[in-house]
Structure 1
């Protein structure tokens, strides 16, 4: 059964780079979100078993998405992919329940390592 994956980033190019980096053998159905509100909507519709989440987005940023998911005790695995590599940001996303943090630009080999580390591959 395919895993529902949502990629939330306001940059279409960044979303496409994540899609290209995903392992070909991974049985997934990909959904995209252009902002945090769409990411939450996707989660509510059951389309985000795994959520790749940028932090800097319009309408609702990644921190707000994580806070919402944390507040409702969501069962999604969240992997943050962001250029915001400040130690505080990395610590905060972990406190809010993110499984991992990957810095941009995304390296496909690092993404594969993280997927193994969090038990998705």
Structure 2
């Protein structure tokens, strides 16, 4: 049976990007959103909340998304992380895949791409 996601941690240094991504989630579902502006905040919030899903930007101050992904997965090897980035270089995509990202969502996100990602995550659980 597919797991229904409830708690989502959105990690991006841009408040506008976080708001835009949040607006792409289905309105009829009751998600509990938490936000972080850098990878270190994300890691601390992940440890505290253990959310069902993390969306993670790569280019951020303090701790970048590559490092945050590795740290989150080291803390919880089952962590469900979707990298949401405009960095679509093969090297970057391969690195986040190697570090355990479930999938990569290109920026800017759309309602359709977010719904597809949510469906894939829930079906994999």
Contact 1:49 1:75 in 2 (8 A): no
**Alignment: residue pair count:** 121
Mean Cα deviation higher: 65-74 or 52-61: 65-74
Deviation by residue 1:31-72 (Cα, 9 ceiling, x = unmatched): 000100110011010252210100000000000011112323
> 5+ unaligned residues in a row in structure 2: which ranges?
none
**Aligned-residue offset at 1:114:** 1.4
- 1:28 corresponds to: 31
Alignment of 1:1-121 (within 5 A): 3-119=6-122
**Aligned-residue offset at 1:104:** 0.8
TM-score of the two chains, using structure 2 as the length reference: 0.88
User: Which has the bigger relative contact order, CA under 8 A and spacing at least 6?
Assistant: 2
After superposition, the CA RMSD in angstroms is 1.9
Whole-angstrom distance in 2 between the partners of 1:87 and 1:50: 24
Deviation by residue 1:79-118 (Cα, 9 ceiling, x = unmatched): 1100100011111111111111011111221111111122
> 5+ unaligned residues in a row in structure 1: which ranges?
none
Contact 2:12 2:18 in 1 (8 A): yes
TM-score of the two chains, using structure 1 as the length reference: 0.90
